[in-house]
Structure formats: structure tokens, C-alpha cells
Amino acid sequence: MMILENERKLSPRVSIGILLLICIMCLAPFLDKAFNIDDPLFIWVAKQIQAHPVDFYGFTVNWNGFEMPMWTRNQNPPLTSYYIALAASWVGWSEIALHLVFLVPALAVVTGTYLLARELCQRPLVATLVSILTPVFLVSSTTVMSDILMLSFWVWSVFLWLKGIKRNSTISLISASFLIAACSLTKYFGMSLIPLLFAYSLAEKRKLGYWVLFLLIPILILAAYQWATFTLYGTGLLLNGFSYSSSYRELFHSNYFTKVLTGLVFTGGCLISALFYFPLLWRKRILAVCALLTLLYILSLPFLITIGAFEISTGEGVKWLNVIEFSLLTLAGANVVALVVHDLWRNRNADSLLLFLWSMGTLIFVCFLNWSINGRSILPIVSVFGIVLMRHFDRLEAVGYFKVPWRIILPLVPAAIIALWVTWGDYIFAESARSAAIEIHDTYKSASGTLWFQGHWGFQYYMEKLGGKAIDFSNSVPAEGDIVIIPSNTSKTFPMPQDRMFFLSEYRFPMYTYITTLNGDTGAGFYSDAFGPFPFVIGYKTDEKYTVFQLH
């Protein structure tokens, strides 16, 4: 605490060292986390790359109950899988090895956020801590998906571009341009850096200049990617990703009001420190009004009956735990938006415009353009939030309203506890799929028939590794005596003929953490709001259930 209070006396190297150490300490307990959600897609593509380096999506996969080309299933560019393929050639494919590999981009995010914060606020160390001690950063850093790698390229792109624009550094602008391309080839959302940095540069310079030419570099690289994928797969995957999001959104019929509420809740939950900092940010009159509005909001929510597809009021009564959590996370999300808008209104300069467009553009994408609202898509905001928060405190300190440094640090304690708690809950959820695959396989491996299963994500990865087969509803013909396993909490399961299904057993894996990131019964949908309007849910003890049948 004393170190943080006197951070202005610390050298950048010492500050970065402290931040890297804290990040490692937070993530080290989860290095053996089971592969889960879309991790297998990136791993399978990486294995394809090792065998066929230029044909990254040239194979089929059963990811939704039907065997289909990989390029239709993995709606991400391939750079993350190239990273995995290269690393795995040295360290192997184990969970610990690959999570160690993804610790590198997490540490790059920490370093890049600190350097960017030094340019934009007076307390870059605390700003970076606010950013990394969040559920969305820690959970995303324990996966091998594209999100944390994309964010590392993103923050370094922005930092180097700002440096290039402010100091007329051609080397910085060129470096930023190639990092923008890398960011876009890690996750398509990275392309939004091009208009974002164009708008910032125009506001900073007040006119077009030679810097515009450097933005052509990522555009040309992306055009080459579009041409290459069209040549390989008959369709340009750059634009195919947009059509996928559009078609998938049609499956969800949430109105704009519900999308905005869910977006605010996800933002508040993913950046949970916004809730604990709230009392320090605003004057007592504003706090009193917000407290009254929150109380009215809590009392009014049950009249909605449902939020999206999730019922908060049933015949058995109101789910008050969900109502209270939804209300508090809405307040936290609204606080994030208010801080960003307030920063732009107060400063009205290129830096505040950058932070505003960065955060609000991400939220608009998450709520209205992406295939679903999820925590991973909110991840780019983490760096903005820490910086904007400290800019707000800088202003309060400058006018003499805020004078006690430890008050800035105190809210990080409950925020860090919840962030680690959520990460632990996600770790246990991932482990349940690995444990289920091993235990069920060991029980029925001696059965005379084939061991079939439905369900995907980590369960599919481990079942296939053990010799199980995913049912392909267009080709598979399970025979009499075959075993079929059906998870209860997964995506893309289909009903099977009940007259042929003989119940054998049910396996339950308790989630004793009392916090969950993905469970449709509780409304937790960190990886997709199709499961519920919360990024995580606190207070419920749930079970992951797997039912085993035999065909007759």
C-alpha cells in the first residue's frame, strides 16, 4: 500500500516490475486450467498449421452437431493459432505449457497499459492495477483463445501511435501500423483501430498529414488476407466474419432496451471495480440520487418478468439475488459510461476523444453488432477504464477535492477478491468438463459399443482425446449397445429418439464456488448472453450434469 501511495517516486522499471509480479501471482494458480469453451478450436487449427502451414482452415470439424469446414466454425483470423503452433513446437500441447505461453501476452497487456497510462494520467501504476484486477482480464488470461493476444497488440498499437503522432516519430508510426495489422489478424475487431486512430490523429493534428499513409499498411495487409482466404476457401473470411455475426444475431430476439441493459450489466460485472469506486467519484447529492434510483430500479425489475430469455420472476416468486446483482452491475456499468462521457466533456481534447471512441465504440459493437453480448468482447475496455478513472481523480486532486491517496487504492481490495473469485469459478467450471470426460470414459471404456457424446467446448476436446466420438446428426448412425453421453450445460445439443434411449446413470460435478460464469439456470453467460444476462452470478451452488444412455 505504501508503494502505491508513493508511486510518483517510483521509476517506470520498478512500477512495471511490480505490476508484472502482481499479474503473475494472480494467474499462476490457474496455469493448469482445463481447456474450455472455444479453446479447442484454436488448438486444432494450430495442429493443422503445424502439418499444413499455409492451409490453416483446411479441415472439417464437428462443433455444432454436424461435420463442417473449420472456416465456417472458427470466426476468427488465424494469428492466435500460428502463435500456439509455434510455441507448441517448443513446449508441447499440455495445459500448463500453453497457459504459460499465453502469460506472455497478458504481461504485454500490463506493460503496454502502464506505458499508455503514463501518457494520459498521473497515476499509471494504479490505473494499470484497476485494469488488470478485473474479472474480464483475469478470466480471459486463463484461456488460449484470441482475446488477450489481441488486447496486447491493441494497447501497444495505441501507445506507439500516440507516441508517433505527438513526437513525430516515423519509427513509432510504422511499428504501430504493423501491430494494427497483427491485432486485426488476431481478432477481426482489431480493424476498428484504423478509424479510431484516424479520428484521434485528425483531432490532435487538426489536419491530414503524412501519418495517414501509415494507416494504409494494415489496410493493404488485410486486403491481402481477404484475397488469400478467398483463394483457399472460396470466400473472403474477412467479410465472412461480419455476415456470421449478422446471421447469428437473428437467432436472438432481444429488443434494444434489453440489449442496452445487458450490455451495462456485462460492463459493470467485467469491470467490477467501477462499483466500489462509485462512492469516491461523485458528490453526495449525485450519490443520493443514484441510491434512490437504484432502489426504485430494484423494486421495478421484477415487473419485467424476463430479461432476454432469463426469468427473474416465476410462479415460485422473484429471484431477488438476481435482481439485486443485476441492479448493482447496471449501476457499475453506467458508472463506466458516465466516467468516459464526463472525461470527454471536461477535457474536450484528442486524448479524451480517443478514450471515448475506444470505449463507446466497443460497447456499441458488443451490444448491437457482435454475434452476442459476452465478456470477451468487453475486454478491450479494461485499459480505458483504469486510465479514465485516474484522470477523474487527477482532476479532483487538482481542485483540492481529493487528498488521501489510500482512498484510491482501497476499492481495489474487494475488486481483486471478486475478480479472483470469478476466475476460480471459471477454473472449476472448466475442470468439471475434463473430470467428466475422464470419469465417464473410464467407467464405460470396456463397453462393447461405441462411446458417443453430444456437447462441445472442453468436454469435446477431452472426450475425443480419450477416443469418444461426437455425434454427427447428418452422418452418424449409433447402433444398439452404443453409449451416448449428453451434458446439460452446453451448446448445440439435439433431442434423440426416446424409444431407443435406456438411462444408465447421471454424473454430477458440484460447482462449490458459489459463483459461476456459465449456467443457463442461474443466468450466468460470461461467454454468451444466450445463457443469461449476467457475466457471472454469485450466491448459487450449481452442478454440472452429464446423463449417460445406452441405445437399444
Shared domain for 92 and 228, answered yes or no, is yes
pLDDT of residue 395: 85
Q: What is the pLDDT of residue 114?
A: 97
Bridge partners, 62 (sequence order):
67
pLDDT at 45: 96
Q: If pLDDT is split at 50, 70 and 90, which confidence band does 254 have?
A: low
Domain final residue, candidates 377, 410, 443: 410
Look at residue 111 in the predicted model and tell me its pLDDT: 97
Model confidence band, residue 255 (pLDDT cutoffs 50, 70, 90):
confident
**pLDDT beyond 80 at 239:** no
Q: Which amino acid is at 23?
A: C
Q: Which three cell numbers stand for residue 203?
A: 483531432
Structure confidence at residue 241 as a pLDDT band (50, 70, 90) = low
3 state SS for 360-411: HHHHHHHHHHCCCCCHHHHCCHHHHHHHHHHHHHHHHHHCCCCCCHHHHHCC
Least confident of 195-209, 266-280, 475-489: 475-489
Is the four-CA dihedral 318, 319, 321, 323 of positive or negative sign?
Answer: negative
Q: Which pTM value belongs to this model?
A: 0.93
3-class secondary structure, 305: coil
Q: Do residues 438 and 289 share a domain?
A: no
Q: DSSP for 421-470, please give it.
A: HHHHHHHHHHHHHHHHHHHHHHHHTT-SS-EEE---HHHHHHHHHTT-EE
Higher pLDDT, 457 or 5: 457
Mean pLDDT in residue range 110-114: 97
- Considering the domain boundaries, does residue 312 fall inside one? yes
Percent of the chain with pLDDT over 90: 59
Averaged pLDDT, 335-363: 94
Residue 415, in any domain of the structure: no
Do 390 and 471 fall into the same domain?
no
179 close to 156: Cβ distance less than 8 angstroms: yes
469 forms beta bridges with 452
Distance CA 25, CA 30 (A): 10
Q: Is residue 514 in some structural domain?
A: yes
Residue 383 shares a structural domain with residue 490:
no
Q: What are the C-alpha distances in Å from 277 to residues 197, 287, 377, 413, 420?
A: 29, 12, 23, 11, 18
The answer to whether residue 3 scores a pLDDT higher than 80 is no
Q: Which of 142, 149, 545, 199 is nearest to 350 (CA)?
A: 199
Whether the CB-CB separation of 203 and 197 falls below 8 Å is answered with no
The whole-angstrom separation of Cα 256 and Cα 280 is 31
Question: Does residue 94 carry a pLDDT above 90?
Answer: yes
How far is Cα 489 from Cα 496, in angstroms, rounded to an integer? 17
What pLDDT was estimated at residue 446?
80
Residues 6+ apart with CB under 8 A from 216: none
**pLDDT tens-digit readout, 22-81:** 999 999 999 999 999 999 999 999 999 999 999 999 999 998 888 899 988 888 999 999
Cell numbers linked to 66: 454436424
How many CB atoms lie under 10 A from the CB of residue 218? Answer: 25
From its phi and psi, is residue 212 left (phi > 0), alpha (psi between -120 and 50) or beta? alpha
- Same structural domain for residues 400 and 540? no
More confident residue, 4 or 265: 265
In a domain, 36, yes or no: no
Give the residue, 496 or 128, on which the prediction is more confident.
128
**Residue 289 lies inside a defined structural domain of this protein:** yes
Q: Rounded mean pLDDT of 231-235?
A: 89
User: Residue 247's pLDDT is what?
Assistant: 54
In three-state secondary structure terms, 142 is coil
Residue 204's pLDDT band (cuts 50, 70, 90): very high
Among 378, 410, 442, which residue terminates a domain? 410
Q: Which of 410, 443, 477 is the last residue of a domain?
A: 410
Range name among 71-85, 248-262, 483-497 with the lowest pLDDT average: 248-262
Longest dimension (CA), the chain: 78
pLDDT band at 385 (very low <50, low <70, confident <90, very high): very high
Residue 404's pLDDT is 57
pLDDT over 60 at 472, yes or no: yes
Is residue 87 scored above 80 in pLDDT?
Answer: yes
116 plus 223 within the same structural domain: yes
Least confident range of 270-284, 310-324, 333-347, 529-543: 310-324
> To the nearest whole number, what is the mean pLDDT of the chain?
89
Half-sphere exposure in the Cβ direction for 477 (13 Å, CA)? 1
Distance separating alpha carbons of residues 108 and 181, to the nearest angstrom: 17
Using pLDDT thresholds of 50, 70 and 90, give the confidence band for residue 100. Answer: very high
What is the 8-class DSSP label of residue 75?
A: -
The mean pLDDT of 156-178, rounded to a whole number, is: 95
Top-confidence range, 6-15, 92-101, 469-478, 484-493: 92-101
103, 189: one domain: yes
**379 and 455 share one domain:** no
382 lies in the same domain as 448: no
Whether residue 102 contacts residue 148, with contact meaning beta carbons closer than 8 Å, is answered with yes
How confident is residue 253, by pLDDT bands cut at 50, 70 and 90?
low
**Does residue 336 lie within any of the structural domains?**
yes
Rounded Cα gap, residues 236 and 457, in angstroms:
26
240 pLDDT higher than 80: no
Q: Report the domain count for the chain.
A: 2
Instruction: Report the alpha-carbon distance of residue 427 to residue 433 in Å, rounded.
Output: 10
DSSP tag of 207: S
Mean pLDDT, residues 413-432: 95
| 533: its cell numbers | 444476462
Same domain, yes or no, for 195 and 58? yes
Please check whether residue 331 is in contact with residue 290, taking contact to mean a CB–CB distance below 8 angstroms.
yes
In angstroms, the CA 310 to CA 332 distance is 21
Are residues 151 and 284 both part of a single domain? yes
Mean pLDDT to the nearest integer, 172-195: 96
Answer yes or no: do 393 and 440 share one domain.
no
Domain of residue 100 covers: 2-12+45-410
Q: ∠254-257-263 over CA atoms, to 5°?
A: 80
In a domain, 37, yes or no: no
Find out whether 57 and 96 touch, Cβ atoms under 8 Å: no
- Please report whether residue 186 resides in a domain: yes
Using alpha carbons, select from 80, 139, 218 the residue that is nearest to residue 377: 139
Kindly tell me if the per-residue pLDDT of 251 is higher than 60.
Answer: no
The predicted structure's pLDDT at residue 303: 82
